[in-house]
Amino acid sequence: MASSTSPLRAAALLLLVLSSPLLLLPLANAHPQKPSPAPRQHAPPAAKARETTGISAGLVSTLRETLDAIRGVASIISSFPIGGGGILGGGGDLRLSSAVADCLDLLDLSSDELSWSMSTTTSSSSSPATAGRLGTGDTSSDLRSWLSGALGNQDTCKEGLDQTGSLLASLVATGLDAVTSLLADGLGQVAAAAAITASSSSRRGLGAFAGEQGKTPSAPRWLRGRERRMLQMPVGPGGLAVDAVVAKDGSGNFTTVSAAVEAAPAESAARYVIYVKRGVYKETVEVKKKKWNVMLVGDGMGVTVISGHRNYVDGYTTYRSATVEGWLAWDGDFALDTLYYGEYMNTGPGAGVGGRVKWPGFHVMTSATEAGNFTVAQFIEGNMWLPPTGVKFTAGLTS
């Protein structure tokens, strides 16, 4: 089975090609402020959680338990050396060291996502740096996004370790399974609460459209006016002021994009603008999670190019490369019993199903209601965040 990586999930961002003059990198912690709950005197923590979000105190307990479990697994992984040909095997094994690094990054991100969820389900702010800057303002949607992201992180970590053939994979398997079970339980509680409070308005707009009805697509809500103007400004005198310049010929502050990104301040509240002059930069650029508000400016499509060359064959994990390992059945049987492969109203000259895989998770859907769960509006809640991008999309099923 293939591994897949997310990527606006903000643990590490792999940049391959700088294809437009301006590339703005928004981060999850730069979203609009969450609504303040109505004050109530002498409310116990459990009551405050229910008052703020409508989520049960049981979910808060599950989140705490999950966070503890994640930290426990991370502690086990970080405590074992991978070099020297020890019991973990493969001293100097690039894939093993990459898998370990992947897991630590992913578990760290999951810890953040659990902490964000905790901040949202309680009435107190976690810290001045993050207070009021988490999520979209839709508590249920934010919780589902964060918990789903954390759930995917565990799968990616487990798959990466399984592919190394190392003893470490079996040492942490039970812990990762426990984390997965807890996250699934938390998601179930969020979904149940959302189902109780859902109104008919949440199902509006299931047709094809670009943007909300009657509205002109605009920039996302979290993008302030000054930053919107930055996207239209040229680099140079009287235009966009830059903080660092990258140039292959040495005429800038840095000769590589990675070095410029690494020099950017951590958790910056202001945009840090890096101007990358024309040229082909053969490197893999990773923007770590604490590099907030980084903005890359190039000289245009095909003029400023960042080209990475990592691939799975050379020993990198799929998470660290842009190369798909492959998903054909003969590649293995991981998750074949638990996946859901749906097919709905498959017609036309190319609709033959004689060669379909014989997986337990393969289903032919006959109900529009069942198929509707996988549409843009329902599966990724596209109605909430796609309209401001101006991207045309079909929100629901079409006849």
Instruction: Quick: pLDDT tens for 298-325.
Output: 988 889 999 888 777 777 787 877 665 5
Q: Which residue has the higher pLDDT, 217 or 345?
A: 345
Asked if residues 217 and 210 have their Cβ atoms less than 8 Å apart, the reply is yes
Residue 71, pLDDT score: 92
Q: Which of 69-78, 120-129, 178-187, 340-349 has the lowest mean pLDDT?
A: 120-129
Rounded to an integer, what distance in angstroms lies between the CA atom of residue 396 and that of residue 372? 7
Rounded to an integer, what distance in angstroms lies between the CA atom of residue 154 and that of residue 166? 17
List Cβ neighbours of 258 (8 Å cut-off, separation of 6 or more). 283, 284, 285, 286
Q: Which of 57-61, 107-111, 210-214, 300-304 has the lowest mean pLDDT?
A: 210-214
Q: Per-residue confidence at 213, pLDDT binned at 50, 70, 90?
A: very low
Concatenating the DSSP letter of every residue in 6-52 gives --TT-S--EE----SSEEE---GGGSPPPPPPPP-TT--HHHHHHHH
Q: What is the 3-state secondary structure (H, E, C) of 156-216?
A: HHHHHHHCCCCHHHHHHHHHHHHHHHHHHHHHHHHHHHHHHHCCHHHHCCCCEECCCCCCC
Residue 371, pLDDT score: 93
* DSSP summary character for residue 223: S
Instruction: Quick: pLDDT tens for 24-43.
Output: 333 333 333 433 333 333 33
Q: What number is the average pLDDT over the span 223-250?
A: 82
In angstroms, the Cα distances linking 259 to 246, 274, 287, 305, 395 are 9, 11, 11, 16, 41
Q: What number is the average pLDDT over the span 236-248?
A: 87
Residue 13, pLDDT score: 33
Q: Per-residue confidence at 122, pLDDT binned at 50, 70, 90?
A: low
Q: Per-residue confidence at 84, pLDDT binned at 50, 70, 90?
A: very low
- Model's pTM, two decimal places? 0.60
Residue 69, pLDDT score: 93
Rounded to an integer, what distance in angstroms lies between the CA atom of residue 144 and that of residue 289? 20
Delineate the domains of the chain, giving CATH numbers in brackets: 34-203 (1.20.140.40), 208-216+324-394 (no CATH), 225-306 (no CATH)
H/E stretch holding 304: strand 304-306
The radius of gyration of the chain from alpha carbons, rounded to an integer in Å, stands at 23
Residue 89, pLDDT score: 46
Rounded to an integer, what distance in angstroms lies between the CA atom of residue 235 and that of residue 276? 11
Q: Which residue has the higher pLDDT, 9 or 298?
A: 298
Q: Per-residue confidence at 178, pLDDT binned at 50, 70, 90?
A: very high
Q: Which tokens is 37 given? A: 């709950």
The alpha helices in the chain, defined as continuous H runs, are: 45-53, 57-79, 94-121, 139-162, 167-197, 225-230, 257-263, 368-372, 376-379, 382-385
Residue 300, pLDDT score: 86
Q: Which residue has the higher pLDDT, 121 or 78?
A: 78
Q: Tell me the pLDDT of the chain averaged across its residues.
A: 74
Residue 265, pLDDT score: 95
Rounded to an integer, what distance in angstroms lies between the CA atom of residue 383 and that of residue 203? 10
